[in-house]
Each structure stands twice: as C-alpha cells, then as structure tokens.
Amino acid sequence: MLKRLEVKTSSRVQLIEITSQVRTFLRSENMTSGVLILYIPHSTCGITINENADPAVKEDILSFLDTMVPRDHEYRHVEGNADAHIKASLLGSSVTVFVESSALVLGTWQGIFLAEFDGPRKRSVLLKLLPD
Ligand code: ZN
C-alpha cells in the first residue's frame, strides 16, 4: 500500500532531513526485509541521500546548486520558479533504500533529505514498501 509522509518546509530553499520520520514509518509496518522506495510528487522539490554529520555539506550542496542554476537567469517559464524546477530535476524525485532486520540500510553518515527549492510549502513524500 502507498503511504504518505507530510513535511512542512520553512524557507524557499532547504534540505530537510527526514530519516527519523522514515524510520518511524518503518516501525509501524511489519516488514523485516525488502526495498523502500521514496518518491516526491512535486516538480519543484527533490529528494537525496547524503551526509548527515556535518551540516556544512547541506550548505555546500545548496550553494553549489544555486551557482549552477541562479534564480535570476532569463528563463522562459513565467512562474518565476524555473530555477526550482531545474534543481528538482538535477537531484531527482526518488530514492531507493534497502531494509534489513526492520531497519534502513544506510551508510554510517548518510541521511535522507527532502530538497525544497520553492518553499515554504507543505510537501509529501510517498513511500512504497516492497517485501522480499
Ligand atoms: Zn513553475
């Protein structure tokens, strides 16, 4: 069954760590082993897995994306959020995580991040568990 996590973002551009929310969801399910797919049903928001230890990594990712895709470029999209669409596509709209012994299989320093590029908004993360 498809599940949904709600995430409220608080600024226009932001990486929000959602690993603990995902773990809470996993505890509510009775699946010990399989695959978890996380999908973002938005066009100006993405998802990524990266370092969760040094907060400077998040800042570097956002800063570098902003250098690559500045907000004030002459885009054709009239909504004024073309940079957000491009950044969302660069990061992607889904990640896959293995589940073993009812736990997420992540590297020691890894966390799952929702990437907001046109907030603040209420966002959804769709989750699909595929048991072994
Ligand atoms: Zn738009």
Please answer whether residues 36 and 27 qualify as being in contact, where contact means their C-beta atoms are separated by less than 8 angstroms.
Answer: no
Cα-to-centroid distance, 80 and ligand 1 (Å): 7
How far lies 99's CA from each of 30, 37, 48, 102, in Å? Answer: 11, 10, 17, 6
For residue 101, the one-letter residue type is: S
Cα-to-centroid distance, 85 and ligand 1 (Å): 6
Cα-to-centroid distance, 50 and ligand 1 (Å): 26
pLDDT tens per residue, range 17-37: 999 999 999 999 988 999 999
Q: Check pLDDT > 90 for residue 93.
A: yes
Domains of the chain: 16-131 (2.60.120.460)
Cα-to-centroid distance, 130 and ligand 1 (Å): 32
Cα-to-centroid distance, 86 and ligand 1 (Å): 10
For residue 70, the SS3 value is coil
What is the chain's mean pLDDT, rounded? 97
For residue 59, the one-letter residue type is: E
pLDDT more than 70, % of the chain: 100
Q: Check pLDDT > 90 for residue 106.
A: yes
pLDDT tens per residue, range 35-79: 999 999 999 999 999 999 999 999 999 999 999 999 999 999 999
For residue 67, the one-letter residue type is: T
